[in-house]
C-alpha cells in the first residue's frame, strides 16, 4: 500500500490515524533513524515497544512493516505515529509530552543492532538449533529462510518456489478457498519478502535463482487473482514487481544460459496464454524480443508477431515490438519501410515524428501529425490532441510565431490534457498591447464553445482570472454560484480583499447545509467551514452560527461534540 506523505491522512483509517496521532503527540516515537537511504527504523513505546520499518521514496511510503500483532487493516497506529513523526515539521506539530519526575528512560537500541550484537555471541550450534525449531513451526520463517538460501541447494527450481507461494496462499485461504481483504496483508508481506530475496540474488549475481523466484511468483499471483479480494492491488502489484525485476535482470550482465532460459520461458508463457487477459501477456513477449539473439530466435519472434492478436491494443504493441526488433537486428531501411506501412499505429506515429524532428524534416513531420489528426479525430479524439501537441512542438522548433499562437490557443481552449503551459506560451508570443483583448476574446469563445446548451467550462475561465489577478472579476464569477465548495476553492485568492463577504457566505451556507446533513462526517465537514470563518477573522460570526446550531439541533449528540472541537 503506497501512502503519499502529503496526503497520508486520506489513506489511513480515521480511528487508526487518531490513535497514531495521540502516540506521536505523547512523544512515544522514542527513536526514528534513517538507517540507509530511504529506509527508516523507529521504536514506538506503548504497552510493549514495537519496531516500525518504513521505506520512503519520491514523497511516499512505499513499504511499511510493524512487528505488532495488529491485523485488522493495512496500517497500524504505530506506523501512523511514525509517519506523523517524519512529517512533524511539514505539519508544524509540536510534541507535548507530559512532564514527569521519573528518570528519563534510556534510548533503546534498534532491533537490527540488538540482533547484530547477539549474533556475534551466539554459538553456531545454538543458532542452527533455533532456526530449525522456528522454521519447522512457522511457515513464514521457513519460506523466508529457504528462499534466502535456496541458491546453495543443488535441486533449486521454479517448482520449489511455486510450492512456497502456494503454501502462502493456502495458509491465508478460508474453507472455500477464497482469500479476503483481511488476509491479503499477510500474503502481500510474505510474497514481497520472496521478491526482496530475488532482488538480493540479482545483486549477488545468482541470475537463475532470480528467474526461478520471479516466474514462480508471477504465475501463482496471476492465478490467485481469480480467488482473492485484490481491492488494494497488492496481488497484481506483486506481478508488476516481479516483471520489473525480470526487466532489471535482462539489462544486467546476463550469462548466455540464463538469457536463453528467460527467452524460452517468455515464449512458452505466451504460447500457453499463462498471462492471457493481463498486460503481462504482451509484456513477456516484449522481454523475449529485447533479448532475442540469432536468426532462429529473431525469426521465431517475427512469426509470432505476425499472427492475428487478441485485441487492437495487442496488435499495436506487437507492431511496435516488430519495428524495434527490425531496427535492432535488420536494417534501418527495412524498419523505416515497416514504420511507414503501419503509421496508423499511434506508437509508431510518435516514433516517426521524433525521427523527423531530430532530422529537422519539418514539412514531413507536419504531414505526419496532420495525417494523425485526420486519422484519429472521430474515433480517438485524445490521440488527435497529441498530434496537435506535435504541431506545436514543430512550430516551436521552427520559431513560427503565428503557428505557435494558433496551436497553443487551440490546445488551451481544448483543455483536455496539458503537455505544456499553453497559457504562458501564448503570453510570451502575443504582444503586451494586444494581450488583454486576446484574453477577453478567449473568454468569450470559451463561453460560446458549446453553443445552444449554454454550458461552458467555468473553472477554465476562473483560472484565467487567477492568472491575470483579476480579483474583482473572479469575485463576480464566484457570486454567480456562491455554494460552499466553490467559495472554498477560490478563497485563497479572494480572502485578502473579500474576507467579510466570504465569511457571510460560509455562515449562511453552513446553516443551509445542516438542514439536510445528518451524520458525523457531515458535521465534521460543517465544522471545517466554521474554522475557515474563524481563520478569516469571523470568530463572532462563527460563534453565532454555532449558537444557532446548538439551539436548532440539541439532540444531535455527535454534532454537539464536533462543535465543541471548533
Cα-Cα-Cα-Cα dihedral sign, residues 426, 431, 435, 438: negative
Residues 75 and 159 in one domain: no
Q: Which pLDDT does position 104 carry in this prediction?
A: 45
> Do the domain assignments include residue 533?
yes
> Do the domain assignments include residue 49?
yes
∠ Cα 195 55 34 (to 5°): 130
Q: Which pLDDT does position 470 carry in this prediction?
A: 97
Cα–Cα distance, 219 to 239 (Å, whole number): 8
> Do the domain assignments include residue 194?
yes
Residues 77 and 182 in one domain: no
Residues 501 and 544 in one domain: yes
Contact between 477 and 462 under an 8 Å Cβ cutoff? The reply is yes
Tens digit of pLDDT per residue, the chain (566 long)? 678 888 788 788 888 988 999 999 888 998 788 888 888 899 998 878 889 989 888 888 888 888 887 767 778 899 999 999 988 766 666 555 444 444 444 555 666 677 778 888 888 888 888 888 887 777 767 766 776 676 676 678 999 999 999 989 998 998 888 999 888 888 998 899 999 999 999 999 999 999 999 999 999 999 999 999 988 888 999 999 999 999 999 999 889 999 999 999 999 999 999 998 898 999 999 999 999 999 999 999 999 988 887 788 888 999 999 999 999 999 989 999 999 999 999 999 999 999 999 999 999 999 999 999 999 999 999 899 999 999 999 999 999 999 999 999 999 998 777 889 999 999 999 999 999 999 999 999 998 876 555 677 889 999 999 999 999 999 999 998 888 999 999 999 999 999 999 999 999 999 999 988 888 888 989 998 998 899 889 999 999 999 999 999 998 898 998 898 77
Cα–Cα distance, 397 to 381 (Å, whole number): 25
Residues 90 and 154 in one domain: no
Q: How many CB atoms lie within 10 A of CB 61?
A: 22
Closest CA to 42 of 34, 52, 57: 52
> Do the domain assignments include residue 14?
yes
Cα–Cα distance, 318 to 482 (Å, whole number): 53
In the chain, the N- to C-terminal Cα span, in Å, equals 33
> Scanning the structure block, which residue is given the C-alpha cell 516481479?
242
Query: 457's torsion region: left (phi>0), alpha (psi -120 to 50) or beta?
Result: beta
Range of the domain at 460: 435-468
Cα-Cα-Cα-Cα dihedral sign, residues 299, 301, 304, 306: negative
Residues 13 and 72 in one domain: yes
Domains identified in the chain, total number? 4
> Do the domain assignments include residue 225?
yes
Q: Which helix (H) or strand (E) holds 52?
A: strand 50-57
Contact between 149 and 117 under an 8 Å Cβ cutoff? The reply is no
Distances (CA, A) of 106 to 46, 85, 102, 103: 15, 19, 12, 9
Q: Which pLDDT does position 402 carry in this prediction?
A: 97
Cα–Cα distance, 389 to 396 (Å, whole number): 11
Using the 3D structure, point to which of 45, 75, 96 is the last residue of a domain.
Answer: 96
Using the 3D structure, point to which of 253, 273, 308 is the last residue of a domain.
Answer: 253
Residues 241 and 174 in one domain: yes
Using the 3D structure, point to which of 96, 125, 149 is the last residue of a domain.
Answer: 96
What percent of the residues of the chain are helix, what percent strand, and what percent coil, each to the nearest 5?
Answer: 70, 5, 25
Residues 493 and 445 in one domain: no
> Can you state the angle between helices 181-204 and 234-250, rounded to 10 degrees?
10
Q: Which pLDDT does position 103 carry in this prediction?
A: 47
Under DSSP, the state recorded for 359 is: T
Residues 89 and 166 in one domain: no
Residues 462 and 522 in one domain: no
∠ Cα 410 413 414 (to 5°): 85
> Do the domain assignments include residue 353?
no
Residues 553 and 507 in one domain: yes
Q: Which pLDDT does position 96 carry in this prediction?
A: 54
∠ Cα 155 160 165 (to 5°): 165
Q: How many CB atoms lie within 10 A of CB 337?
A: 11
Residues 491 and 462 in one domain: no
C-alpha cell at position 356: 523527423
Amino acid at each position: 500500500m503506497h501512502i503519499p506523505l502529503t496526503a497520508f491522512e486520506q489513506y489511513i483509517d480515521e480511528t487508526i490515524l487518531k490513535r497514531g496521532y495521540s502516540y506521536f503527540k505523547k512523544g512515544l516515537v522514542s527513536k526514528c533513524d534513517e538507517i540507509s537511504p530511504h529506509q527508516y527504523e523507529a521504536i514506538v513505546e506503548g504497552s510493549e515497544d514495537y519496531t516500525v520499518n518504513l521505506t520512503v521514496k519520491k514523497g511516499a511510503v512505499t513499504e511499511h512493516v510493524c512487528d505488532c500483532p495488529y491485523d485488522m487493516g493495512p496500517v497500524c497506529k504505530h506506523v501512523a505515529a511514525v509517519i506523523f513523526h517524519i512529517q512533524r515539521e511539514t505539519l508544524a506539530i509540536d510534541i507535548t509530552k507530559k512532564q514527569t519526575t521519573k528518570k528519563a528512560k534510556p534510548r533503546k537500541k534498534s532491533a537490527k543492532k540488538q540482533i547484530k550484537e547477539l549474533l556475534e555471541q551466539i554459538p553456531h550450534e545454538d543458532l542452527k538449533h533455533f532456526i530449525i525449531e522456528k522454521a519447522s513451526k512457522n511457515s513464514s520463517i521457513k519460506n523466508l529462510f529457504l528462499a534466502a538460501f535456496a541458491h546453495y541447494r543443488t535441486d533449486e527450481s521454479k517448482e520449489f518456489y511455486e510450492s512456497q507461494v502456494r503454501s502462502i496462499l493456502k495458509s491465508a485461504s478460508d474453507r472455500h478457498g477464497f482469500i479476503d481483504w483481511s488476509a491479503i496483508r499477510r500474503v502481500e508481506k510474505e510474497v514481497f519478502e520472496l521478491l526482496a530475496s530475488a532482488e538480493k540474488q540479482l545483486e549477488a549475481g545468482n541470475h537463475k535463482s532470480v528467474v526461478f523466484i520471479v516466474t514462480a511468483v508471477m504465475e501463482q499471483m496471476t492465478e490467485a487473482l481469480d480467488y482473492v479480494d485484490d481491492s488494494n492491488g497488492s496481488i497484481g502489484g506483486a506481478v508488476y514487481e516481479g516483471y520489473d525485476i525480470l526487466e532489471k535482470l535482462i539489462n544486467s550482465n546476463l550469462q548466455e544460459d540464463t538469457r536463453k532460459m528467460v527467452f524460452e520461458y517468455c515464449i512458452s508463457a505466451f504460447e500457453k496464454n499463462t498471462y492471457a487477459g493481463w498486460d503481462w501477456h504482451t509484456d513477456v513477449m516484449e522481454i523475449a524480443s529485447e533479448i532475442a539473439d540469432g536468426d532462429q530466435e529473431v525469426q521465431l519472434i517475427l512469426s509470432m508477431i505476425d499472427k492475428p492478436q487478441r485485441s487492437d491494443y495487442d496488435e499495436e504493441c506487437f507492431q511496435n515490438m516488430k519495428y524495434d526488433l527490425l531496427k535492432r537486428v535488420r536494417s534501418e531501411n527495412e524498419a523505416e519501410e515497416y514504420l511507414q506501412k503501419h503509421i496508423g499505429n499511434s506508437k509508431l506515429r510518435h516514433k516517426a515524428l521524433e525521427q523527423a524532428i531530430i532530422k529537422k524534416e519539418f514539412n514531413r513531420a507536419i504531414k505526419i501529425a496532420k495525417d494523425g489528426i485526420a486519422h484519429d479525430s472521430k474515433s480517438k479524439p485524445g490521440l488527435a490532441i497529441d498530434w496537435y501537441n506535435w504541431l506545436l512542438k514543430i512550430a516551436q522548433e521552427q520559431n513560427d510565431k503565428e503557428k505557435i499562437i494558433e496551436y497553443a490557443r487551440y490546445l488551451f481552449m481544448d483543455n483536455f490534457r496539458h503537455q505544456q503551459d499553453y497559457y504562458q506560451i501564448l503570453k510570451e508570443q502575443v504582444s503586451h498591447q494586444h494581450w488583454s483583448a486576446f484574453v477577453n476574446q478567449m473568454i468569450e469563445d470559451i463561453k460560446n464553445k458549446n453553443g445552444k446548451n449554454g454550458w461552458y467550462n467555468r473553472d477554465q475561465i476562473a483560472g484565467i482570472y487567477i492568472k491575470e489577478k483579476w480579483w474583482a472579476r473572479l469575485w463576480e464569477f464566484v457570486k454567480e454560484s456562491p455554494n460552499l465548495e466553490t467559495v472554498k476553492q477560490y478563497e485563497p485568492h479572494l480572502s485578502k480583499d473579500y474576507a467579510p463577504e466570504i465569511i457571510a457566505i460560509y455562515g449562511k451556507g453552513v446553516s443551509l447545509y445542516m438542514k439536510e446533513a445528518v451524520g458525523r462526517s457531515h458535521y465534521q465537514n460543517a465544522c471545517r467551514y466554521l474554522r475557515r470563518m474563524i481563520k478569516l477573522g469571523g470568530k463572532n460570526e462563527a460563534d453565532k452560527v454555532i449558537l444557532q446550531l446548538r439551539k436548532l439541533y440539541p439532540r444531535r449528540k455527535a454534532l454537539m461534540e464536533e462543535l465543541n472541537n471548533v
